[in-house]
Structure 1
Amino acid sequence: MVLTFDCNLNQLFVYLAAVSCAERGLRSHLLLRGEQPDVLTGYNLVSTMYGNVQYVPRSRYANREEMLRTYADLVAGEDGTVLWAKDIVEGRDTMNVAKMDDFSSMKTSRRKVLIVNEGAGDALALLGMFRLVQHLSQDHLLGKKRPVKFVVDAGTGTTAVGLGVAAMSLGLPWEINAVMLADTLKNYKRHEDHLIAEFSRQFPGSVFCSGLDMNQMIKWIDRQHPRKFGKVLEGEVEMCRKIAQETGVLVDPMYTLAAWETATELVQDEKSSIVVMLHTGGTLGMFGLAQRYKTCFTNLKD
C-alpha cells in the first residue's frame, strides 16, 4: 500500500506520518508546499529518511485536491486504486461500497493509494478533538463545570471547530476563541458549516446534534497584527525568544504566537473564567523560517 500525505508547515505531522507508515511496512509520499530548503534540517531532514518527500510549487499547491489526486493517480498506476481517508468512513454509503470492496479485495500486486489531506482538515479530524476534550474535562484537570476560555490559532480552522463541537456535545461551559491566520471570517464560517454537516453525515449515531448553535461556542477573531499568511513581521522572532526564556513555552511567529498574544490579552480582562491556550505545534517550522528570514535569527540579541 502507498499512502500519499499532503503536509504544509507542520513538520511534526510529516515525521510522525512517515515513521508510522515505515513501522507498518507502508510506503509514504509526503507532499510539501513551497521550495526545498538549501540545507535540510530537523524533521524535514529526518522525514526524508522514512518517506519520499516531494516539494510542490505554490502555484500547483493552490488547487490542493486536484494536485493530490493527480499525484496519487501517478503513484497508483493504471491498475491501482485511490481512496481519500474519508472514503473509509463513508464506505457504508452505497456510493462508496463498491470502491471499498475493490480497495480491500485487490491482489497484492496491485497498488492501493490512500490520500490523507493537509492538516486532516476534514470531519475525521474532529474525532481526535473529542478525545482531547474528554481528557481535558476530567475532574483533576479542567473539569466539567468551570467556565473556560480556550484560545487556538486557526490555520484551516478544523481544530477550533473540533473543540467547539466536542465541548457543546458534552455540555461544557467552554468558549473557543479562534485566531484567524489564513482566511476571511466568511470562509472560516463556511468551513465550519461544512465540517459539521460532514461529521453529522459520517457519524449519524453520534451524540452531536447538527441543530445546535455553534455561534455561542466558537468566536472567530482577528489576529492582533494581521498580515498575509506566511509572513513574519519584524520583532516577532525576538518576541518568541523572549517568551521562551521567561516562561519555558516555545511559540513560533507563524502560528502559536498569535494565540499567545490573544490569550495574554484575554487573561488581563477575565475574572470569572480561566484562559487556556491550546499549543497546536508549529514551532519546528522555525527550521524553515530560519532559512527564509535569516536576518531575524542571526540578529537575535541577549
Structure 2
Amino acid sequence: MTKDLENDSQVPSFYIVRDDLIHPLVNGNKARKLDALLPFLEDHSVTDVVTCGGCQSAHAAAVAVSCAERGLRSHLLLRGEQPDVLTGYNLISTMYGNVTYVPRSLYADREEMLIRHAGLVAGSSGLVVSLNDMLEAPWIKQKGGRKVAIVNEGAGDSLALLGMIRLLCYLSENHLFGKERTVKFVVDAGTGTTAVGLGLGAICLGLPWEVTAVMLADSIEQYRKRELQLIFDFRRHFGFNLVHCSNRMDNGVVTWVERHQPRKFGNVIDRELEVCQQIAQQTGILVDPIYTLAAWELATSLSEKEERGGANVVMLHTGGMLGMFGLAQRYKSHFRTLKDQSNG
C-alpha cells in the first residue's frame, strides 16, 4: 500500500492499495475474486472452467493463468474477432487457456453461450455445474469424465465477494487502517462485483468505511439491480449470521457515481493518455484510461474535500495494465501523440 504524495505537503493526497503488484499477470481485483473462487472449485473436483470476456479481458486472462497454475483447464469465450496480432491480455489468454472467439450477436446472450460451450467441453460423459449449483447442492457427485464449472463474466458471482471481504479483513488490521478510522474507499466498476464485495465487507466487519464506485460499463439502474442480486445471493449462501446488519444491506452498500467525463464504455478521450503518462512520471504508478484513471480522478476529488481532518481516502488499484497494449492497437493516433512528445 502506498500513499500518493507530492513534494508540497499541502497538496491533498490519498492512499492506494497496490493490488496491481501482487502477481505479474493476475493482479488487482481479478486476483482477489479468484482467491475465493478457485480453491472452492478445486475442493469440488472441477476439471475445467468456462468463462467469457472482451478480447482484452483481464478477467479471462487471470482465469487462464490461475487455472494453469492449479492444473485446471480453462476455456475462454472472447467477444468479437481474433486480432491480426495477439498482444496484451489477449496474448496471455491464448498462451495459458483455450480461446474461442464469439460473434457479438451470440455473445449478447452470455448465459446461453456459456452453458452451450460448457456442454461441448463436458461431452456426453461429463457434468456442467454453476457456482450456485455447487453452493446450494455441494453433494453433487461426478461419476466420471469432466466436471465443468461456469464462471460468469468478470467473476460476477456471490462467491467472489468473499475474496474482497478477505482484503478488508487485512486492511482493517491495526498496523494498517484499523477498525476505528473513517475511510472512503474508491474503486472503478466494470461489473460492479468488486465494489459490492467491499461494501458488504465494511458492513459485515462493522467498519466505518464507505465505498464509492465509478460506473464505467452500464447505467446506475443496472448497477443497482446487480448490487441487489449479489446481496440477495450472498445472504442466501452465507448470510445465516448477518441478521445484525440486514438494515444496512437493505439500503445498499455502494454509492454509484458517474465518471468525471462520461462516455461509452471502452472509449478514450483526448489527452487522457497524457494524464496517465504524467501520473506515471510523477508518482511511479501506472493507471490506464479505461478503468483506473477513473478511480484516480475520483480519489483526487474526494481527497481535496477531505483534506481538513476528514476521512482517509483510499483507492483500490484494480490492475489491468496489460490492457494498455490492446488500447495501443485500437487508438493508434492517441499513442502516436505520446511518441511525438517523447521525440520532442
Aligned partners of 1:11 and 1:284 also within 8 Å: no
The match for 1:67 among 104, 113, 133 is 113
Question: Who is 1:281 aligned against?
Answer: 319
2:209 equivalent to 1:167: no
Question: Who is 2:80 aligned against?
Answer: 34
The match for 2:227 among 192, 201, 225 is 192
Quickly say closer, same or farther: Cα 1:10–1:150, change in 2 above 3 A: farther
The match for 1:204 among 236, 239, 247 is 239
- Secondary structure of the residue that 2:240 maps to in structure 1? coil
Quickly say closer, same or farther: Cα 1:10–1:44, change in 2 above 3 A: closer
Per-residue deviation at 1:278? 0.8
Deviating more after overlay: 156-165 vs 200-209: 200-209
Matched residue type, 1:161: V
The match for 1:235 among 261, 271, 292 is 271
- Secondary structure of the residue that 1:242 maps to in structure 2? helix
Per-residue deviation at 1:282? 2.2
CA distance in 2, matches of 1:23, 1:184: 36
2:149 equivalent to 1:82: no
Per-residue deviation at 1:209? 5.0
- Secondary structure of the residue that 2:239 maps to in structure 1? coil
CA distance in 2, matches of 1:143, 1:48: 42
- Secondary structure of the residue that 1:153 maps to in structure 2? strand
- Secondary structure of the residue that 1:198 maps to in structure 2? helix
Quickly say closer, same or farther: Cα 1:254–1:269, change in 2 above 3 A: same
The match for 1:250 among 260, 272, 286 is 286
- Secondary structure of the residue that 1:225 maps to in structure 2? coil
**TM-score, structure 2 normalization:** 0.79
> Any gaps of 5 or more consecutive residues in structure 2?
1-46
The match for 1:91 among 137, 154, 174 is 137
Matched residue type, 2:210: E
Question: Who is 1:176 aligned against?
Answer: 211
The match for 2:333 among 275, 285, 295 is 295
**TM-score, structure 1 normalization:** 0.90
Aligned partners of 1:121 and 1:158 also within 8 Å: yes
Backbone CA RMSD of aligned residues: 1.9
CA distance in 1, matches of 2:172, 2:190: 24
Per-residue deviation at 1:113? 1.2
Aligned partners of 1:149 and 1:274 also within 8 Å: yes
Question: Who is 2:37 aligned against?
Answer: none
Question: Who is 2:50 aligned against?
Answer: 4
CA distance in 1, matches of 2:286, 2:241: 36
CA distance in 2, matches of 1:61, 1:43: 19
Question: Who is 2:167 aligned against?
Answer: 132
Quickly say closer, same or farther: Cα 1:73–1:151, change in 2 above 3 A: same
Which aligned pairs between 1:138-153 and structure 2 lie closer than 5 A?
138-153=173-188
Aligned partners of 2:56 and 2:90 also within 8 Å: no
> Any gaps of 5 or more consecutive residues in structure 1?
none
Deviating more after overlay: 9-18 vs 194-203: 9-18
More contact order relative to length (CA 8 Å, sep ≥ 6): 2
Deviating more after overlay: 230-239 vs 220-229: 230-239
Matched residue type, 1:72: A
CA distance in 2, matches of 1:204, 1:268: 37
Deviating more after overlay: 198-207 vs 239-248: 198-207
Per-residue deviation at 1:32? 1.8
Matched residue type, 1:189: R
Quickly say closer, same or farther: Cα 1:25–1:147, change in 2 above 3 A: closer
Deviations 1:190-214 (A, max 9, x none): 1111111100111133446562224
Aligned partners of 1:148 and 1:273 also within 8 Å: yes
CA distance in 1, matches of 2:253, 2:64: 35
CA distance in 2, matches of 1:58, 1:230: 15
Per-residue deviation at 1:296? 0.9
Per-residue deviation at 1:233? 1.2
Question: Who is 1:17 aligned against?
Answer: 63
Deviations 1:123-148 (A, max 9, x none): 11110011000000011111111101
Question: Who is 2:248 aligned against?
Answer: 213
